[in-house]
Amino acid sequence: MGRLIDQYIRNAEERERAEKVEALAAIFADRASVHDREGSFPHQNFADMHEAGYLKLTVPKEFGGEEISLYELVSMQERLAYGDGSTALAVGWHLGQVLHLRTTRKWPGRLFDELCRAIVADGAMINTFASESGSGSPSRGGKPETTAIRTDGGWLITGRKTFSTLSPILDRFVVSAYIPEEDSTADFLIYNNDRVSIIETWDTIGMRATGSHDVVLDRAFAAEGSRLSGKGIDDGGGWLLHIPACYLGIAMAARDFAISFAQMYRPNHLQGPIAELATVQQSIGQMEAELRTARCLVYAAADRWDQEKVSRPSLKSELGLAKYMATNNSIKVVDMAMRIVGGSSLSKKMPLERFYRDVRAGLHNPPMDNMVLHTLAADALNERNAD
């Protein structure tokens, strides 16, 4: 029987890429507990990923990238998160957004081309800082309190962004801002400058090495051409599947750890290891059911998104459901893995307690559970109304 993680590998090319990312994940796993404890940003992981070509996976081939599909992105990210959830989530924003820009073409061509070249040549990365303490998750439609005021040749951006993942390493990023004179909101591409500062606020229970600090902009200049007003082609937001992929990877690591432990651990009152106990086998079976169901949904949604280009906007419910099931099931899997291992699972010497903390963060990445359920309910009600 092959490994569960390989279930969705379709061909030799995907296998080759999988082996490369697994090598990185193994190195990052060794570094993960130190960064988790310190809350430090894993700069060396990002240097290694640049070296290995990981940062350019979603860049179009014409710029020297790999132009991988969403399905492959899910597979890569799941494997990377198996080694280190924080690194996977952080790089996932970058890889996902480049895929999104590739399919929507929502940036002016000149800016996208320049970004792609910088990724390939210098290991540049991108992320969007849209969350704020006053407006909450951008996915709920709150108006940014960050403002953009017109000035000679561009805009002056002022505000404070929270949850700014990758902030310690980015040389450019996108911010959402409100434009009072137009009573509208737009995104702006900002190149790091002395009017931008990082306030190291990220001290959380989980995903501690994502560098998701606050970013403060004090009249930071964005050139006229850096206003990213266009929405481009609607791609249904498939790129967000990098999020469930990450939490599945953490759950997979917890599952493997618990199974190995159960096969090895034999208390002296038993004849064999605890894996032979019916109760432990029930728990392993439950982990399998949760994990396999969620993986099936995520890979199926990614494949549909890749294949059905025209109907991408209508895949929103399916994509949201996949994220909902993956994040919630992953939390359950880590919980069950810890019950199998028992009291020693609480030890900082084992990775399970970190998995337990990291996996919870998925609840607070978009789309949030209540948004997904709302969309599913709306679909159901509209179906009845259409009768």
Ligand X SMILES: Cc1cc2nc3c(=O)[nH]c(=O)nc-3n(C[C@H](O)[C@H](O)[C@H](O)COP(=O)(O)OP(=O)(O)OC[C@H]3O[C@@H](n4cnc5c(N)ncnc54)[C@H](O)[C@@H]3O)c2cc1C
> Using CB under 6 A, which of 260, 293, 314, 370 touches ligand X?
370
- CB of 93: closest distance to ligand X in angstroms? 5
Interaction between residue 212 and ligand X (CB under 6 A):
yes
Q: Which amino acid is at 257?
A: F
Interaction between residue 163 and ligand X (CB under 6 A):
yes
Smaller CB distance to ligand X: residue 351 or 362? Answer: 362
Stretch that binds ligand X, among 14-22, 44-52, 133-141, 298-306 (CB under 6 A): 133-141
Residue pair 320/376 in contact (Cβ under 8 Å)? The answer is yes
Residue ranges in 43-102 that form contacts with ligand X under rule CB under 6 A: 89, 93
Interaction between residue 328 and ligand X (CB under 6 A):
no
Tally of CB atoms within 10 A around 51:
11
Smaller CB distance to ligand X: residue 69 or 165? Answer: 165
> Using CB under 6 A, which of 127, 185, 330, 345 touches ligand X?
127
Residue pair 345/353 in contact (Cβ under 8 Å)? The answer is yes
The two structure tokens encoding residue 219: 């009249």
- Determine the Cα–Cα distance for residues 82 and 238; give it in Å rounded to an integer: 22
- Please give the residue whose beta carbon sits closest to ligand X in the complex: 136
Nearest residue to 86 via CA among 366, 361, 336: 361
CA distances from residue 249 to 142, 218, 222, 253, 330 in whole angstroms, order as listed: 31, 38, 37, 6, 9
Interaction between residue 330 and ligand X (CB under 6 A):
no
Smaller CB distance to ligand X: residue 215 or 301? Answer: 215
Residue pair 323/240 in contact (Cβ under 8 Å)? The answer is yes
- CB of 110: closest distance to ligand X in angstroms? 24
- 242-264 and 85-104 helices, crossing angle to 10°: 150
Interaction between residue 364 and ligand X (CB under 6 A):
yes
Give contact residues for ligand X (rule: CB under 6 A). 89, 93, 127-131, 136-138, 140, 163-165, 207, 210, 212, 361, 364-366, 368, 370
